[in-house]
Structure 1
Amino acid sequence: MRGLCGSILDIPAQPATGAEIPGPYTMTGEEILEFLPRVAAVGAQVEANLRGWVQRLRDRRVTWARIGAALGMTRQSTWERFSGEE
């Protein structure tokens, strides 16, 4: 089973003609509203996957600073986002 990411990636790419940018710029408001939950679901899947990767790194004792650097974040921001502690 491929999941939601696979189904979204199956949407045929529009050829780059330079005339229009594909995506929300060419969609009606109703089309965007209909598509929005799919985008949010993919975002949630990506976030969950990212958390898993970060946890694997932490299990291997990789520092928050190194993880943050890889993500373009500060050590503190990385810890706040992924540590699960408040």
Structure 2
Amino acid sequence: MSTAVIARCSFCAKPNTDVEVLVGGPGVFICDGCVRLCVTVIEGKPADAPMIAPWEHDIPLEQVLQNLAPVSAASSQVQENLAAWVGKARALGGTWSQIGEALGMTRQSAWERFA
């Protein structure tokens, strides 16, 4: 019996079927392998290292272009998760006004986007 792919790691894009543990947060997931990598990076990071966004690093165009597809895939996964959460809210009796307010948009905008 094969396990269904429910979600992918938001960092490495491995599906839940290819990792030992996939931890879920609000619309994002991280696998055990990426958690280990994060711990290694955090433990080895100098305390005075500046925080800069990944796209602000001095990297070649080829690497930037390689990152576009994974970033787009992560965005798609987040949008699918958001739609699923909105569906759950509706199934539990949430109104479009409540959903819109939670998302910082009007009732009409929420309905148009998710109905």
Number of aligned positions between the proteins: 82
Superposed, 1:13-32 pairs within 5 Å as 15=45, 17-18=49-50, 21-26=52-57, 27-32=59-64
CA distance in 2, matches of 1:28, 1:72: 37
Structure with greater strand percent:
2
Larger helix proportion of the pair: 1
The percent of aligned pairs where both chains have the same amino acid is 35
Partner of residue 12 from structure 2, selected from 7, 10, 14: 7
Asked if residue 70 in structure 1 is aligned to residue 75 in structure 2, the reply is: no
Structure 1 runs not aligned, ≥5 long: none
Give the TM-score, by structure 2 length.
0.60
**Which range moved further: 66-75 or 24-33?**
24-33
Q: Secondary structure at the match of 1:7?
A: coil
Offset at residue 3 of structure 1 (A): 2.3
Taking structure 1 as the reference length, the TM-score comes to 0.77
